[in-house]
């Protein structure tokens, strides 16, 4: 019994050029980086909760508890955990709304611009949320909520854009094999985010956000200068 034509030696790979490989890798890792930044937030929740709640009081000088805890948001870890769960809900809701909006925007603007803007802007928001606020010792619940809403909207630019770009480059023949392999990008991103966060978490959760945001921002720059949206850009129909 003969194998389906898509699995026969050379039948699939012979149709792909180095441009296809570059597009595959760039879209794969761009969405992986977006997932990595989301995974970072999940991985550092315990550290954030500890920072947002009162620590052991300094007993060398007798001062009111309010002075030692003036920069903390919540009176207990349970309250902090509840707020972190609320941030997750806010992010997912804004992400869901943003998927619809990003699809419309992607149909009207250059997909490369939209994807690059979303990655770089999301990286900046993550940096402000997790790193800058900690460096400045500025803790505000409303600021965190607003930043995470914006982050959800910006992160939503990723999926519609990369799927549309992949659809432009890979035809119906063999698309199941290609997209089956490509769809591992989300899992790879989760693994990457966990590795990046754990490698610097000992220095403080703000550095976990700093590393992932920096890598994602760099990825957005690479996408802007290196990604071809469709074969028409190189004169191939």
CATH of the domain at 214: 1.20.1250.20
237 in a structural domain: no
13 in a structural domain: no
Residue 235 region by backbone torsions, left for phi larger than 0, else alpha for psi between -120 and 50, else beta: left
- pLDDT for position 67: 46
Burial 13-39 (b: 16+ CB within 10 A, else e): eeeeeeebeebbebbbbbbbbbbbbbb
- pLDDT for position 20: 86
- pLDDT for position 174: 66
118 in a structural domain: yes
37 in a structural domain: yes
12 in a structural domain: no
Residue 228: CB atoms within 10 A of its CB come to 18
3-state secondary structure string, the chain?
CCCCHHHCCCCCHHHCCHHHHHHHHHHHHHHHHHHHHHHHHHHCHHHHHHHCCCCCCCCCCCCCHHHHCCCCCCCCHHHHHHHHHHHHHHHHHHHHHHHHHHHHHHHHCCHHHHHHHHHHHHHHHHHHHHHHHHHCCCCCHHHHHHHHHHHHHHHCCHHHHHHHHHHHHCCCCCHHHHHHHHCCHHHHHHHHHHHHHHHHHHHCHHHHHHHHHHHHHHHHHHHHHHCCCCHHHHCCC
Q: Which domain holds residue 32?
A: 18-53+74-230
Report the chain (237 residues): mean pLDDT per 10 consecutive residues.
48 70 94 92 88 59 48 77 93 95 91 95 96 90 95 95 91 78 92 92 92 96 93 71
- pLDDT for position 71: 56
137 in a structural domain: yes
109 in a structural domain: yes
33 in a structural domain: yes
- pLDDT for position 234: 77
Domain count, the chain: 1
């Amino acid at each position: 019994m003969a194998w389906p034509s898509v699995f026969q030696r050379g039948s699939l790979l012979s149709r792909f050029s180095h441009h296809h490989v570059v597009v595959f890798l760039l879209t794969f890792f761009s969405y992986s980086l977006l997932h990595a930044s989301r995974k970072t937030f999940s991985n550092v929740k315990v550290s954030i909760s500890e920072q947002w709640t009162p620590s052991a009081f300094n007993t060398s000088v007798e001062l009111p508890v309010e002075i030692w805890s003036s920069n903390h948001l919540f009176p207990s870890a349970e309250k902090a955990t509840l707020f972190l769960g609320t941030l997750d809900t806010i992010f997912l809701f804004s992400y869901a709304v943003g998927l619809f909006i990003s699809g419309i925007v992607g149909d009207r603007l250059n997909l490369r611009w939209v994807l690059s803007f979303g990655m770089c802007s999301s990286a900046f928001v993550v940096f402000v949320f997790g790193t800058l606020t900690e460096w400045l010792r500025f803790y505000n619940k409303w600021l965190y909520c607003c930043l995470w809403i914006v982050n959800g909207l910006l992160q939503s630019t990723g999926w519609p854009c990369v799927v549309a770009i992949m659809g432009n480059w890979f035809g119906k023949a063999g698309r199941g094999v290609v997209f089956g392999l490509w769809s591992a990008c989300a899992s790879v991103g989760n693994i990457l985010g966990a590795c990046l966060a754990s490698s610097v978490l000992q220095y403080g959760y703000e550095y976990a956000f700093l590393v992932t945001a920096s890598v994602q921002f760099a990825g957005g720059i690479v996408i802007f200068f290196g990604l071809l949206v469709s074969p028409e850009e190189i004169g191939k129909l």
